[in-house]
Structures are given as structure tokens and as C-alpha cells.
Amino acid sequence: MPVRNQSSPSAVPALECRGLSKAYGASRIVLAGLDFTLARGEFVAVMGDSGVGKSTLLNLIAGLDRADSGDVLIDGEPINGLDDDAATRLRRQKLGFVFQAFHVLPHLTLAQNVALPLLLNDLPLGQAAEMLAAVGLAGRDADLPRQLSGGELQRVAIARALVHRPRLILADEPTGNLDPDTAHDVLTLFRAQARSNHAATMMVTHSEAAAAFADRVLVLRGGHLHAGTLSAQHSTAAPQASPHA
């Protein structure tokens, strides 16, 4: 029987940030040597004042922007040691990104939008229809984005972020454009789908109601992430499931 040790895959975090620093000019220090670890399957919410650097942090993790110093490891692999091609490949395979403004391509059908990550990863395209059904949009494959409501569009964006079963999902204010009831429905679905895929999720939000869906709430302040708490009204709003359930 093989001996399990610390090299077992489950011991490798989905995401690790080590000493991540980013400044815009000499006076605008956004991240100040930030350290952070996200376990596999864990769902964290990141809150913080406007302009504090939440989107910058997600962009650095996603490789859409470069840190001044520090390391980002996705699934144990340091992204800053990779050349551009290798970093792009890693992002395609291991990352799903949900944006506030959906970023659904207007001239592609819903099925084509959701199939994009499959196409880029040489995976069977049939999973796109399954994923659309999983987010409650069965039979809408041939519709165009303009035929959808905001909540439906965000569900398409979630389907696209999850369809290739990424290890890590980054979501930047995914319910920022939705009314509270729709936001609740979208987050319920988002969390359930992320869990069934065993994906780790980092969600930036200004909404305590949205943050209540997370296993852990963090606040970005002074260039570091701190443990945060929700007000009493929201701290019991959502059932707290085990991150590894």
C-alpha cells in the first residue's frame, strides 16, 4: 500500500500568494507583500473599500497583470516562472473567471459562448449544452445573449467559467449588476456548481449578502488580506457547508 505524505495532491492548495506586491507609481502602493492560501474546494469572499486593490489582486492571480514582486502558485505551479505561452496554457486549463459585466460575446450563441473554454482546451464541445442545462438554461443553446435577462446572462458567464472544470474560479463582483433575488439565485447556483466541480473560488464583492455564501470572509486593507466578519444580519444568511463537502 503506498504511503501518503505531504506530496499527496490534496495537500497542494488551489492557490497560494507569497509576498505579492504591486504599486502604481511611487506613491500608490496597492499590495504590500500579501500572503494568502486558498484550499481546494474552498469558497472565500474578498471585501474592501473601493480602490483598495481587489480587482488588481484578481488580475495578478489571473496573470492579466504583473506583480512587482512575489509569487502566485496555482495548483502548486508558480505562474511567474512560466513563459507567456505556458502561462496562457495554465490559465486556460486551471482558471475560470466571472466578471461583473458578464463579458459574454454578443454575436455568439449561448452554446458557443460556453463552449469557448472547451475549444481552447481541446475538450469535447458537447459539455457546453450539459453545463447550460446545469445553470437552468436547457434548450436555450441557440439563443443570442441579447435575448437574455441580466441574471440569465450571469448564469451563462458562470457556465462558461466552470465548463472546463477549472481548479480555481475568480469572480469579480459577479452579482454587482443583479437585483437581490436574482443575485441570491445566481450565488446559490454558483456555489453548488463550484462545489460539485471541487473548484476553489475567490469572489470579490461589496455585498454582505453575497459574502455570506462564502466559507470565509476576508477584507483587503493596507495591501494585505485580513480575516473579516459579517454583520449579525448576514452572518447566518447562508448555510455554511464544509469547503470539502
Ligand X SMILES: Nc1ncnc2c1ncn2[C@@H]1O[C@H](COP(=O)(O)OP(=O)(O)OP(=O)(O)O)[C@@H](O)[C@H]1O
The 3-class secondary structure across 25-64, one letter per residue, is: CCCEEEEEEEEEEECCCCEEEEECCCCCCHHHHHHHHCCC
Q: What is the DSSP letter of 14?
A: S
Q: What is the distance between the alpha carbons of residues 155 and 98, in angstroms, rounded to a whole number?
A: 10
Q: What is the distance between the alpha carbons of residues 46 and 201, in angstroms, rounded to a whole number?
A: 10
50 binds ligand X (CB under 6 A): yes
109 binds Mg ion (CB under 5 A): no
**Binding piece for Mg ion, criterion CB under 5 A, among 47-55, 79-87, 152-160, 179-187:** 47-55
Task: Give me the count of residues in the chain.
Answer: 245
Q: Which of 44, 52, 72, 104 binds ligand X (CB under 6 A)?
A: 52
User: What is the CB neighbour count within 10 angstroms for residue 24?
Assistant: 11
The item of ligand X, Mg ion, none sharing an interface with residue 50, based on CB under 5 to 8 Å by kind, is ligand X
Based on CB atoms, which residue is closest to ligand X, 134 or 219?
A: 219
**Binding piece for Mg ion, criterion CB under 5 A, among 49-57, 66-74, 132-140, 142-150:** 49-57
55 binds Mg ion (CB under 5 A): yes
List of residues contacting Mg ion (CB under 5 A)? 55
List of residues contacting ligand X (CB under 6 A)? 24, 28, 30, 48, 50-56
